[in-house]
């Protein structure tokens, strides 16, 4: 019994605290519920062109002209109209599409090889450029070779009995010939001839004539 009497003040204080908290919470919760109320539905407005709007306006004594018929006062926006207008306003390319007539008179044939035009005889490539290229290779005579040195040399005699000392890669003959190899007892000369518009290379071996 003493324990109950001793704890009675604490129980009363707890009940008072709970009641006070409940009243404060109810005060704040009730307005928030009122704010969540359902908003009034606005009246539906009918368009002016609808029959109901015309009937209401007529009943009020206001004269409203009828709507214009469909298609009157509207621009033609069809795709075909846009295409036609674009054709009229676009640039005129007819002057660039005129046929072009090619006149070959006085002009070189673009399909004819240039090398064949320089020399009409098939087999020769380009005309002579040096005195050694003014003779055919068969007209030269090989009379001596210096081969056991750093730069081997070959000695030729032309039809005029003039002596020429040549080294490797020097030109000789009228068919773009050049000395490819100089070795003991012979010289290898490579020539280029044109056949059917394409150069053909051939090697000839010249030996010393006694």
Structural domain that includes position 164:
128-207
Q: Residue 134's domain is classified under what CATH number?
A: 2.30.30.830
Look at the chain and report how many structural domains it folds into: 1
* CB-neighbour burial class of residue 156 (10 A; exposed 0-12, middle 13-18, buried 19+): buried
Sheet holding 186-195, edge to edge: 178-183, 186-195, 198-207
152 domain-assigned? yes
In a 3-state reduction of DSSP, which class is residue 118?
helix
136 falls within a domain: yes
Within-domain flag for 28: no
Per-residue pLDDT tens listing for the chain (210 residues): 666 667 777 778 778 888 877 777 777 665 544 444 555 556 665 555 555 544 554 445 555 666 666 555 555 555 555 545 545 556 666 666 667 676 777 776 777 665 555 554 444 445 457 888 889 999 999 999 998 888 999 999 999 999 999 999 999 998 889 999 999 889 999 998 877 778 888 899 999 876
pTM score, whole prediction: 0.40
Does the residue 72 lie in any domain? no
Domain assignment present for residue 89? The answer is no
The DSSP H or E segment spanning 41 is none
From residue 85, alpha-carbon distances to 75, 77, 97, 127, 183 in Å are: 13, 11, 22, 66, 85
């Amino acid at each position: 019994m003493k324990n109950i009497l001793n704890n009675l003040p604490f129980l009363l204080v707890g009940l008072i605290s709970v009641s006070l908290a409940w009243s404060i919470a109810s005060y704040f919760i009730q307005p928030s519920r009122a704010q969540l109320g359902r908003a009034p539905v606005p009246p539906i407005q009918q368009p002016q062109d609808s029959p109901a709007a015309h009937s209401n306006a007529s009943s009020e004594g206001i004269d409203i002209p009828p709507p214009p018929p469909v298609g009157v006062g509207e621009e033609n926006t069809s795709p075909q109209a846009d295409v036609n207008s674009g054709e009229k306003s676009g640039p005129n390319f007819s002057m660039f599409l005129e046929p072009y007539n090619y006149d070959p008179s006085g002009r070189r044939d673009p399909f004819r090889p240039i090398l064949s035009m320089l020399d009409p005889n098939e087999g020769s490539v380009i005309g002579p450029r040096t005195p050694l290229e003014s003779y055919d290779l068969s007209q030269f005579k090989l009379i001596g070779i210096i081969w056991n040195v750093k730069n081997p040399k070959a000695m030729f005699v032309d039809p005029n009995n003039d002596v020429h000392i040549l080294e490797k890669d020097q030109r000789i003959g009228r068919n773009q010939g050049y000395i490819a190899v100089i070795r003991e007892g012979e010289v290898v000369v490579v020539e280029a001839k044109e056949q059917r518009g394409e150069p053909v290379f051939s090697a000839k071996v010249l030996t010393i004539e006694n």
